[in-house]
Amino acid sequence: MAKAKRGNATSSSKMADNSDKQAEKFSLMLDSSDDEAPEEVTFEDSKTQALRSMKQALDTARREKELLKEKRRKRQELFQEQKKRKLLPADVLEEIDPTSSKKPRQSEDEAEEEQQKGDGEKELRKKKKKTRGKLAHSRILKGNYTVATLEERSMASFQQQAAEDFIQSRLYGPGSCRTTSNELLSLQNKKGWNKSAAVQFVKKDWACKEKAKAEKLKKRWIHKQHISSC
C-alpha cells in the first residue's frame, strides 16, 4: 500500500515533483548554504495521512460500485416497466385464469414472447395454432386465444436418455472394438474361395433424390434442344 501510494504520488504529482525538484534544486542552489535539515514528519502524521488516503481509495471504489448498482437497477426497472406496458390487458388474463394456475403463466409467457417479437395478436394466434399440434389438450376461449396443456417432459425422460446413452457408449462407443456387418461380410467375400466384390460395393440408393432431379433436368434440356432445333 505504501509502495502504491508512493507510486501514485509519483505519477499523479510527477509534474509537481518535477517542479518541486526544480524548485528544490533552485532552492538548493539558492539555499545551498542553508543546510537545512529535512523536515521532520512525525510517525503519527504519516500514519494518519496513509489511513486517510486508504480511506479515500476505498470510498471511491464503493461509490463507483454504488453508482453501477444504481445504473443497473434503473435499467432493470425500465425494462420491467416496458414489459408491463406490453402485457395483455388485465381482463384477458382474468379470463384465462380460471382454467389453471399453470396455464395462464404459460400462455402469458408465450404472449410475452409474442409481444416482444413485435407483432400483436395475429402472431399470437399463429404461434398458438402451430403449437396446438404438439400439445395434448386444448381449449378455445372467446377471442383469439387458445390455452393448452404441455406434455410432461420432466427429469425422468432426461435421466432415461442419459442411461440409454451410457449403455450405448459402453456397448457401441469408442473402445468397444465393433465392426459393421457390411465390413464383416465384405471381408468374408474377399477371403473366401470365390472372391467377390464387397457387399454394397455400389450403393444403388445413394443420392437417389439428386439422381431423380438430374433425370428431370436432363429430360427438360433434351426437350428444349428438340424444340429449339425444330
Partner 1 sequence: MGEFKVHRVRFFDYMPSAIRAMAFNRQSERLAVARADGAVEIFNFSDNYFQEKVIPGQDSRAVEALCWVDQRLFSGGLNGEITEYDLENLKPRYTVAAYGGPIWTISSNNQGTMLALGCEDGTVKMFEVLAEKVQFQRNFDRQKGRIISLSWHPSGTLIAAGMMDMIRVFDAETGHATHRLLVERGVGASKSREVVVWSVAFLSDHTIISGDSAGKVQIWDGVTGTLLRTHLVTKWDVLALSVSQDQSSLVAGTSEGTVIQFQLISSTVGQQDKEWVRTRTFKNHSHDVRALAHTETAVVSGGMDTQLVVRPLLDKVEKNTQESSLRKIVFPHRSLVCCAKKAGLLLFQFPEHLELWRLGESEGHGKPGDSLTVKTKPEKLIQLKRKGEDHICCSALSPCGGWMAYSTVSSVRLYRLQYNNNNIGITKVSRLPKDLCSVHQLCFSSDSSKLFASSSHSSVIVVALNQQECTYLHTLKPKSSSRQPVHLLFASEDGKWLATANTDCEIHIYNLDKLKLHCTVPVYSSYPTAIAIHPLTSNLVVVHADQQIFEYSLEKKEYTEWSRKLQKLGLHSLWLERDTPVTHITFNSRNPAHIILHDMFMFCIIDQSLPLPEAKTLLYNQMTLRSVPEPERIRHSHAFKICKNFQVWSSH
Instruction: Outline where 32-177 has alpha helix (H).
Output: 43-86, 90-96, 102-117, 121-132, 155-172
**Residue 103 neighbours by CB under 8 Å, 6+ apart:** 96, 147, 148, 149
Which of 160, 182, 196, 225 touches partner 1 (CB under 8 A)? 160
Smallest distance, partner 1 to C-beta of residue 188, A: 13
* Total residues binding partner 1 (CB under 8 A): 12
Taking CB under 8 A as the binding criterion, the range among 42-50, 90-98, 125-133, 175-183 that sits at the site for partner 1 is 175-183
Q: How far apart are alpha carbons 116 and 128 in whole angstroms?
A: 15
Q: Rule CB under 8 A: say whether 175 interacts with partner 1.
A: yes
Q: How far apart are alpha carbons 189 and 94 in whole angstroms?
A: 73
Q: Rule CB under 8 A: say whether 197 interacts with partner 1.
A: no
Q: How far apart are alpha carbons 52 and 41 in whole angstroms?
A: 16
Which of 37, 41, 156, 230 touches partner 1 (CB under 8 A)? 156
**Residue 2 neighbours by CB under 8 Å, 6+ apart:** 50
**Phi, psi dihedral angles at 139 (to 5 degrees):** -120, 135
How is residue 43 written as a grid cell? 510517525
Q: Rule CB under 8 A: say whether 9 interacts with partner 1.
A: no
Which of 1, 90, 171, 230 touches partner 1 (CB under 8 A)? 171
Smallest distance, partner 1 to C-beta of residue 226, A: 31
Taking CB under 8 A as the binding criterion, the range among 8-16, 33-41, 163-171, 208-216 that sits at the site for partner 1 is 163-171
Binding residues vs partner 1 (CB under 8 A):
156-157, 159-160, 162-164, 170-171, 175-177
